[in-house]
Amino acid sequence: MFSGSWVAVVTPFNNNAVDEAALADLVNWHVEKGTNGIVAVGTTGESPTLSHEEHHKVVEICVKAANKRIPVMAGTGSNSTDEAIDLTAHAKKAGADAVLLVNPYYNKPTQEGLYRHYMAIADAVDIPQIVYNIPGRTGGKIETSTMARLATHPNIVGLKDACGDLAYTSEIISRTSSDFSVLSGDDGLTLPMMSIGAKGVISVAANVVPDKIAALTAAALAGDFGAAREIHYSMWDLMNSMFYETNPIPVKTALAMMGRIREEFRLPLCQMGQANRERLQTVMQKCGLLAEEAARA
């Protein structure tokens, strides 16, 4: 199940409320375009600024819209173990197929603390769980030895690896079983990571080019790295443009340019600077993505 292109879907807003209709439309669009799975309320979904009620609602909307056509993974991580357990329990109750658990942030636990944190969640809620290692956001890194210990738990089935270190990725894959899924957490590294055994990506770029990212991962999984490489380079500028400013500012701006959502964020995120907006628009035009806006107008 945990392979291919999983989109870290944005959370659309309308007058500071979750735009439920736009979110459901995005899920339906991803199903049509071949995305393998939806990841709701992750970093790209602006989870830090959602209330618990809104967090629950976004998961429920995605599950309902997907309607078992593709699986839904819910972001349920926290720097509080009890809170992460509560969010994970709700995701299971709502019908999510898996959860994504970001490394505890700010309180900087030891490796033993990380191990106990993830084991407590895995013991408390019987649902497939993907650990999310992103040191640049959390200020801490789960070491390969700790991940190898965690991977023996039947509910801990994979790792979203956003460390940007292929040696780290190789070590994780070498120390875990063949059914353990390592997924790229960085679009630009999806191809190189899949060349050494990663099984796919949790993607930001798939928000705007779902068919392309799905095709790239499908080609790599089939061993056709020539085709995957061609897609990789055709999307290279676009993948980089998604990080001109803090994610998800560029991707939500891009989706608004395409007419799929309103260009709305919650503070402390804000609208894109004009110079970067113009750079993004140029890349979007080169990729033929703004023609879709005209067709929808």
Q: What is the widest separation between alpha-carbon atoms in the chain? A: 54
Token duo for residue 267: 């503070």
Give yes or no for a contact between 108 and 140, defined as CB atoms under 8 angstroms apart.
yes
Q: Which of 57, 115, 160, 244 is catalytic?
A: 160
Nearest to 87 by CA among 105, 104, 75: 75
Token duo for residue 62: 């995605």
Cα-based distances in Å from 183 to 14, 189, 284: 32, 10, 26
- In this structure, the strands spanning 37-40 and 72-75 are parallel
Cβ burial of 22 (10 Å; 0-12, 13-18, 19+) is: middle
Q: Which of 57, 115, 118, 132 is catalytic?
A: 132
Say how far apart CA 102 and CA 114 lie, in whole Å: 11
Give the burial string for 50-78 (b: 16+ CB within 10 Å, else e).
beeebbbbbbbbbbebbeeebbbbbbbbb
160 labelled catalytic:
yes
132 labelled catalytic:
yes
Give yes or no for a contact between 271 and 263, defined as CB atoms under 8 angstroms apart.
yes
Say how far apart CA 68 and CA 290 lie, in whole Å: 31
Q: Looking at the annotation, which residues are catalytic?
A: 132, 160
